[in-house]
Amino acid sequence: MSKILKGTAFSYGSRTGGGVIQVRVSDDSGVKFSGEMYASEIRLSYEGDQATANNSDGEVVSVVSFNHRKVLNLTGIVLATSQTPNAGGVDSVTNANLAFSAPFKVGCDLWISYGSNNEWPEVNKSGSAGWGSTSNPGGVHGAPSYGDYHITGAEKTRSAGNFAEWNITAVEHIPIDYDGAGNADDSNN
């Protein structure tokens, strides 16, 4: 969401028009959850490892950076809507509980879609068509293929007097184009 305060625009909230995003969790056996989530917080950080080479005097003469990755922390409330097949597509407390209890674990793939409002391409998985809807269950995965995360930590929280939330930590490894030839850093370049 964006706001204008005395003539100056700034980003506000987890998404323009409200915090509802589309989320898909899957593994080799199939889709564990595909539906909507109110994202109360999305945090994205970039990380990497590095090693140094020292000369005989102990001075650093070379630095190598490797294992570049994006780390996504997603906290939100799973919604029982027509876009959430796990919930039977009907807005009810029973179906909301079914959506919340979708079985996923560390090691699953995580895709996030902002739909046609692709305002954060580092996080968004798909092209402009989106993918998490009942009319497009297979999804569109456009290039560049951002937002293809691997879950490294998952927590579900329910407590008296609060919303039931998911908190997911996921990593996307970033291919690096060191030679500037438009190729990922692999054995072909």
The predicted model gives 117-135 an average pLDDT of: 53
Residue 167, pLDDT above cutoff 90: yes
Pick the most confident of 25-29, 113-117, 122-126: 25-29
Q: What confidence tier does 29 reach under pLDDT thresholds 50, 70, 90?
A: confident
* Confidence at residue 159, expressed as pLDDT on a 0 to 100 scale: 85
Position with higher pLDDT, 88 vs 81: 81
* Confidence at residue 103, expressed as pLDDT on a 0 to 100 scale: 84
- Pairing mode of beta strands 8-11, 30-54: unpaired
Question: Average pLDDT, whole number, for the chain?
Answer: 74
* Confidence at residue 188, expressed as pLDDT on a 0 to 100 scale: 34
Break the chain into its structural domains and give their ranges.
12-173
Q: Where are the alpha helices (DSSP H) in the chain?
A: 93-100
* Confidence at residue 66, expressed as pLDDT on a 0 to 100 scale: 84
β strands within 55-164, DSSP E: 60-78, 109-113, 148-157
Q: CA angle, 79 as apex, 171 and 154 as ends, to 5°?
A: 30
Residue 127, pLDDT above cutoff 50: no
User: For residue 70, what are the CA distances in angstroms to 8, 45, 81, 95, 143?
Assistant: 30, 6, 30, 33, 17
Position with higher pLDDT, 72 vs 140: 72
Instruction: Kindly give, in sequence order, each residue whose CB lies less than 8 Å from that of residue 169, ignoring residues fewer than 6 positions away.
Output: 71, 72, 73, 74, 151, 152, 153, 154
